Structure 1
């Protein structure tokens, strides 16, 4: 009997419900979780925790934890829990949308998104979350608390991930993105494309950083959406100011809107399918898309010039004055 696993098979729901119980019964765990997500020691007042919270448009949050911060405000942590399942497309972004919806509904005044998974899974994750916590950290926490059953459950989950999960890397999308980014770096270096990396089939966003060292403002070619866009990360409150600053470009087809906590400005691009298309076969479409990206870059530089700011000296606060 000693050689058998103490549980036949650990499922994500098992971990969900264990963490749900821990939130409801252990203030020490709540304080640890909040401190870990916010990277600052917290002693919080627990409000509640819920499992499988579903939004009709943006999907499901595995766990939602709400607490009162030191100022008395409701804060939330939206948690995605993964053992070995393949990430869904734009899953991290949809967590942000659900968080924004919670603010609009008055459920909380601010939130963080968090991915819980084995460390090996986190290493290959490309989805955007505010914070990630490895199962190994949770196991160590439970060991320190003397919660041996919980620690063993985490150990079994880590073991299952090692046995069963393989990152879903798409050779086709990886090669297409590599060719695209190397082409852009060679012929359009002013866009400062990201470094090529392995990609899953649904990972079709290509990032450019034309205003380095500032990475809060970036250009993204969203292949699946047939558009290229400027992203002003964390600038949602500046939507009106940015709309006014770029208003002169409305006649070019520029679409300006809020997206989660950010502001995006979009131009259309030709359809490209990185999973099916060879880079050489769609190079004309790539050229057209890059031309649109360069238009966006030029808009950025011109608006900066109108404000008397050199692109090389851009600071985030420059957009908010």
Structure 2
């Protein structure tokens, strides 16, 4: 087994975390006991039941997760769990949870409501999350799974590695309302990349994000300062973006150096044969997103493929691939500077379409 490989979803959604929590609560006494302790419920558990999206008694809304616990001392506890990845609070949402707890008064000796969410969400929506009895962060849950890795047998290692990785993905990459969390490992990698760039291609100027002491974990683009790197190009044919996409070391992700021409994408199907012919000696690939109502004139990418690199792994072990990528960036820049007449021709073709 490759210990460095952790499978993850393409992106973690709120429902992914819902189902992860439901499955673990349903199947693990240890996890259920731990969650109960976070809610202040410490009596030993005899049996329990878990419901997902349980309809509330006094409203049309639903409880994300309902945990019904029978204790060894014959008492009974109810835990209502609201899970939030990035969505805003619904009107009176916490208050309706509290009302639901009140309806359980006769049947349950212990009642508690808690919210699970990333720490960044809790800070950003403190007025909402503080209305719950307990806040259990994704970070805390991920740590719980990681601790289990040292206790479980080999058949469960991948399971808890996967759960921890999914929570990490939700923490670091919210689909909306994203809060970046700097990662020193990525920052250190960037610093070494900048130093190597200065040796191999000093004419390519690092952008501001490359110079930060720490970048978010999902930042996999080396975004150069395109204005400074192409200062000798007239603005009308100067790229809007110039970057080396690292692709997290996977062949199935973006691995290339590319420049982007603003507003050229809509015309690409009409001018592609001419572009391919003009750049045949370079072997560049031209791509563009399809125009949409909100973005009728997308940018057009001109790219050169590179080898996969992972900015969360050892820089020195990937030096040769990084060197090759930087030299590709230099090759692309040099071609543009030496073929300005062609770029002006392309610009005229694009405008004519």
Q: TM-score range by the shorter chain?
A: 0.3 to 0.5
Tell me the TM-score normalised to structure 1 length: 0.47
Tell me the TM-score normalised to structure 2 length: 0.43
Structure number, greater radius of gyration: 2
